[in-house]
């Protein structure tokens, strides 16, 4: 019987479709396994995403994995990872080919250095909002924006590159009705970062759900903690639905009042009271980043060079409790 330590181990050393030789497993989660691979033709190092064996017959998980390719082809933005190829394993389940990513997720950076200065947070959030705007314009809602999915790296000249990863649980305006019907009453995303409408299991959420999640990311990056916590997932979701978020200004002395207002608007329980769009948010944050280029350089200087983005590559970090679908 497969275990977490051995699932898909038989693939190591195999060559898929005569093109991709799998070297080692570099990520494992609730539903996914990630391998480092090389292209037999070019020698390029790559990452291969697969489903765990127990999910090979799960229609929705296979569809969501392949939707990442769809997003990468339809959303034009440098912050979206480009999938290079896709195919099928011998068991019939899909695999995806993507560049091997190096850099540091925001989650790992925060764990290492703690809360960030407000100018850096504003500059980073503006970049993420720009990526979300492009995704929303193409008809996709990410539904799992969180620090693990915000990958930062720096160029040879020290310039900051920001990517938003893992559209594995995104909703799509192109999704068939039967898929949307199957999602009714289920919570998609990571509990600490979902919007009230997601926590309530609503099927039709729009881009403002991602803005709520980005508000939580900003709150955490500024203060070192998330605004909502509880002893279990059910209580956490209930808090997100019923309670107003605490004031970030009370936790961060000297925080610019304008930035406090932006975070408060993003965390409004009523979507109508949030920022109207990701583009509006990106523009609203610019005055609070000061010299944006300088803020980007300060952020890039904090990053560890040459780090394989393991935590950001993992498709799903752990199995979801109760009816919460967490793909990360």
Question: Is the model's pLDDT at 15 over the cut of 80?
Answer: yes
Pick the CATH number of 104-312 from 3.40.640.10, 1.10.510.10, 3.40.50.300, 3.40.50.150: 1.10.510.10
Indicate the Cα dihedral angle 36, 148, 56, 82, nearest 10°. -60
Pick the CATH number of 9-100 from 3.30.200.20, 3.50.50.60, 1.10.10.10, 2.40.30.10: 3.30.200.20
State residue 306's pLDDT score: 66
pLDDT in tens, 79-136: 999 999 999 999 888 999 999 998 999 999 999 999 999 999 999 999 999 999 999 9
241 touches 198 (CB < 8 A): no
d(CA 94, CA 130): 30
pLDDT in tens, 147-198: 999 999 988 777 899 999 989 888 888 776 676 666 666 777 899 999 999 9
> Out of 2, 17, 91, 144, which one is annotated catalytic?
144
25 touches 33 (CB < 8 A): yes
User: Which tokens sit at 232?
Assistant: 């279990």
144 is catalytic: yes
Is 9-100's fold the same as 104-312's?
no
Domain ranges in the chain are: 9-100, 104-312
Question: Is the model's pLDDT at 214 over the cut of 60?
Answer: yes
Percent of the chain exceeding pLDDT 70 equals 88
Supply φ then ψ for residue 321, to 5 degrees. Answer: -75, 155
State residue 31's pLDDT score: 77
Residue (of 70, 324, 64, 63) closest to 200 by Cα position: 324
Rounded to 10 deg, the angle between the 278-285 and 207-223 helix axes is 30
Question: Is the model's pLDDT at 11 over the cut of 60?
Answer: yes
Question: Is the model's pLDDT at 315 over the cut of 80?
Answer: no
Question: Is the model's pLDDT at 4 over the cut of 70?
Answer: no
Provide the pLDDT confidence category of residue 320 given band limits of 50, 70 and 90: very low
- Helix H segments across 169-327? 177-182, 196-199, 207-223, 233-242, 257-266, 278-285, 292-302, 310-313
d(CA 307, CA 328): 19
């Amino acid at each position: 019987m497969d275990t977490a330590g051995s699932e898909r181990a038989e693939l190591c050393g195999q060559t898929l479709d005569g093109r991709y030789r799998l070297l080692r497993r570099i990520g494992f989660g609730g539903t996914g396994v990630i391998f480092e691979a090389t292209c037999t033709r070019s020698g390029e190092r790559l990452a291969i995403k697969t489903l765990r064996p127990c999910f090979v017959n799960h229609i929705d998980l296979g569809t969501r994995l392949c939707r990442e390719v769809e997003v990468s082809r339809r959303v034009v933005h440098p912050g979206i990872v480009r999938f290079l190829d896709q195919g099928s394993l011998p068991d019939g389940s899909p695999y995806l080919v993507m560049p091997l990513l190096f850099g540091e997720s925001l989650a790992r950076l925060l764990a290492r250095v703690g809360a960030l200065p407000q100018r850096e947070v504003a500059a980073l959030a503006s970049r993420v909002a720009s990526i979300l705007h492009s995704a929303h314009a193409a008809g996709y809602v990410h539904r799992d924006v969180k620090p693990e999915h915000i990958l930062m790296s720096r160029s040879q000249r020290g310039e900051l590159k920001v990517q938003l990863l893992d559209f594995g649980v995104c909703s799509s305006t192109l999704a068939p009705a039967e898929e949307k019907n199957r999602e009714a009453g289920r919570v998609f995303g990571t509990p600490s970062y979902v919007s009230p409408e997601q926590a309530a299991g609503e099927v039709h959420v729009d881009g403002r759900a991602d803005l709520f999640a980005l508000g939580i990311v900003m709150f955490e990056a500024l203060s070192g903690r998330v605004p909502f916590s509880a002893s279990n997932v059910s209580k956490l979701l209930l808090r997100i639905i019923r309670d107003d978020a605490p004031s970030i200004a009370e936790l961060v002395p000297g925080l610019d009042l304008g930035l406090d207002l932006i975070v408060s608007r993003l965390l409004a329980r009523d979507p109508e009271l949030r920022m109207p769009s990701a583009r509006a948010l990106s523009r609203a944050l610019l005055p609070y980043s000061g010299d944006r280029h300088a803020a980007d350089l300060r952020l890039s200087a904090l990053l560890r060079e040459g780090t394989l983005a393991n935590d950001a590559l993992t498709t799903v970090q752990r199995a979801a409790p109760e009816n919460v679908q967490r793909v990360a």
